[in-house]
Amino acid sequence: MAETKPENAVETIDLCKTYGGGRDARVEALRDVSLAIPRGSIFGLLGPNGAGKSTLINILAGLVIKTSGEARIWGYDIERQMRPARRAIGVVPQELNIDPFFTPRQLLDLQAGLYGVPKAQRRSLELLEAVGLGAQAESYARTLSGGMLRRLLVAKAMVHDPRVLVLDEPTAGVDVELRRQLWSLVRELNERGTTVLLTTHYLAEAEQLCGRIAIINHGRLIACEPTVTLLGRLDAKRLRVTVDRDVSEVPGALKGFNVVIQDARQLIFHYPPSKVNSGQILAAIRDAGLEITDLATRETDLEDIFLRLTHEPMDEAG
């Protein structure tokens, strides 16, 4: 009988987590968080330090008990159907929690055993090859570089063939080349059908990798949209123009625009692309009798959106 695949790999409904005893000492780590992570997607979960991301991940992984609400992984309720829910998720933590006196192959075999994977069905060598550690399969983990250990953690999280892979800040503190290798691996796993939930502080990575992004702040979900839609939230663009001679004040032809003189020959324009296009600005510069020698534009990026949303005051009544 073919497996029934849910539309969403992960779902939370009004998920809450409160720490502390008395009312005055309570801390709401999560408040009414409702998420739907589509099957087969790479989904980004972003937020400042202390926003509640790790609490959410730990609830999904079974390491923290929720206060209220619901959570499902691959359609399985994390409490009522705990065993299949646990088998459906693999977590790559931030910390390098590897026993240094085991070999990578031994570590993967042990992890597979903990998940009840029969010996005949274990894929330790296959997984090590997939993450580029086939040659190190019998080396002690203490001899591996930090980058190798990161990749070993990915393989360790995949021993039970989970439908959902959670990557919690997987590239924190690693160099550019290793980051590139890790993301190549993530894309390969996703192409094979694994749903990926990613948390990262590298917003450019989330922008490039994730088809959908959620932003959490002070335990509350403040955005959850396709990446393209999220980037369209700020109707703002920056145009830097270098002209052929010194300018001491804004010419009359340009005073209808939001423009500042950065130095004697550079003009910086900030404008909403929905109302003004760059052609209008360039025409106005020519009308002012100036020749353009260089120009550069900067689009709104995820960092702009993130900073704006996470610095907006929260609605305490809501």
Would residue 259 count as lying in a domain? yes
Band the pLDDT of 2: cuts 50, 70, 90.
Answer: low
Q: Examine the fold and report which residue of 194, 209, 231 is the final residue of a domain before the chain moves on.
A: 231
Same domain, 258 and 205: no
Q: Can you read off the two tokens belonging to residue 190?
A: 């996703």
- Its domain, for residue 246, covers 237-299
Same domain, 14 and 74: yes
SS3 191: helix
CA angle 18, 22, 23 (to 5 degrees): 70
Same domain, 183 and 54: yes
Same domain, 224 and 245: no
Cβ pair 144, 96 in contact under 8 A: no
How far is Cα of residue 245 from the mean position of the Cα atoms in its chain?
Answer: 45
Give the list of residues 6+ apart from residue 108 with CB closer than 8 angstroms, or none.
122, 124, 127, 128, 155, 156, 159
Q: What is the pLDDT of residues 198-251, one digit of tens each?
A: 998 888 888 889 999 999 999 999 999 999 888 877 778 889 999 999 999 999
Neighbours of 217 (CB within 10 A): 21
Same domain, 279 and 185: no
The pLDDT value recorded for residue 316 is: 44
Same domain, 220 and 249: no
Q: Can you read off the two tokens belonging to residue 297?
A: 């534009």
Would residue 265 count as lying in a domain? yes
Would residue 111 count as lying in a domain? no
State mean pLDDT over 56-68. 95
Rounded to an integer, what distance in angstroms lies between the CA atom of residue 223 and that of residue 226? 10
Rounded to an integer, what distance in angstroms lies between the CA atom of residue 17 and that of residue 15? 7
CA angle 20, 29, 6 (to 5 degrees): 130
CATH code, domain with 242: 3.30.70.100
Q: Can you read off the two tokens belonging to residue 141?
A: 């983990």
State mean pLDDT over 243-265. 91
Would residue 106 count as lying in a domain? no
> How many domains is the chain partitioned into structurally?
2
Average pLDDT, the chain: 89
Same domain, 31 and 63: yes
Helix/strand/coil (H/E/C) assignment for every residue in 214-232:
EEEECCEEEEEEEHHHHHC
The pLDDT value recorded for residue 23 is: 63
**Comparing C-alpha atoms, which of 152, 208, 213 is closest to residue 183?**
208
Same domain, 174 and 243: no
- Of residues 93 and 73, which shows the higher confidence score? 73
Give the list of residues 6+ apart from residue 26 with CB closer than 8 angstroms, or none.
18, 19, 20
Give the list of residues 6+ apart from residue 85 with CB closer than 8 angstroms, or none.
62, 72, 73, 74, 76, 77, 78
The pLDDT value recorded for residue 314 is: 54
CATH code, domain with 84: 3.40.50.300
Rounded to an integer, what distance in angstroms lies between the CA atom of residue 210 and that of residue 236? 22
Which class for 38: exposed (0-12), middle (13-18), buried (19 or more C-beta within 10 A)?
A: middle
Same domain, 12 and 63: yes
Neighbours of 288 (CB within 10 A): 16
Same domain, 201 and 266: no
Same domain, 173 and 58: yes
